[in-house]
Amino acid sequence: MAILNLHHLRLFRAVARDGTLTGAARQLNLSPSALSTQLRTLEDSLGHDLFDRQGRGLLLTEAGRIALDHAEAIFRTAEDLTATLRNTGGGQRALRVGALATLSRNFQIGFLRPLLGRGDVEIVLRSGSQAELLRGLDSLALDVVLTNLAPPRDAASPYLIHQLDEQPVSLIGTPARAGTGAMDLDRLLISHPLILPTPETALRAAFDALVARRGLSVRIAAEVDDMAMIRLMVREDAGLAVIPAIVVRDELVAGTLVEAARLQDMAESFLAVTLDRRFPNPLLGDLLITGRR
């Protein structure tokens, strides 16, 4: 099996980022012809063209996009290895955080707050699906994944699951819709359209079970897979939202939204998922401790 030349891979990454051979060659202090020769050697070793050459520009092929993703992961891991094993305590350290795209932004900021504004820390924050984020964690492209969905875990699982917080869930609405006096929960649920998380979420499963226990038929105004969008929709008075109060904390403080009712026996868990690494990111330990409420 051919051994991948990391020098050629680094040159390829520079060309992919610049988009032109001449621009990348200038940055690398190489002649365009020498750079082109080394790129061709890399393409030959991989067995695929990495660029479509269109005029003076270069566009990544499908194989090129795959190669660039792997190149970025390889060099991130190399940088992490150097920083971790040297552990000189100087310079800037990076913390790479993945967050479920639907997760409360207020919770994410609260988790990261101890590191915000520190000159010696760079925070790299990526959002995505649970599967994408766990792949990033497995490849060491991420140090931690913030989620409200616990990944499957058994004796062979590589994941460590840290419960950071658990927030009660409420019916939230505008003052005009929710009113200022106490109202029976059943009446609220059947009298107003509801803005709900999508069916695949744990929060929705718990809500559906609550409604079934009470024998209610409810009217759904929207099913939304993003907490930020639920927040906007309830502010626009599209209905009562089933969400943790932390999602709309600022609006509740300002009085633009109110809690119509607390949904008993429902809670949203906020989790941090890490790997059991021999050399964990030292920035992570304090966050996992201070992140627990």
Residue 185's SS3 state is helix
Cα→Cα distances 288→110, 111, 147, Å: 12, 8, 14
Complete edge-to-edge strand list for the sheet that includes strand 159-173:
121-128, 93-100, 144-147, 258-275, 159-173, 240-244, 194-197, 220-224
Q: pLDDT digits over 50-72, tens only?
A: 998 877 778 889 998 888 888 88
Question: How does DSSP classify residue 140?
Answer: T
Give the pLDDT confidence of 116-156 residue by residue, as tens digits: 988 888 899 998 888 899 988 888 889 999 998 888 877 67
Q: Note if the pTM is more than 0.75.
A: no
Tell me how far apart the alpha carbons of residues 245 and 165 are, in angstroms, rounded to a whole number: 13
Phi, psi of 255, rounded to the nearest 5 degrees = 85, 5
Residue 220 binned pLDDT confidence (cut-offs 50, 70, 90): very high
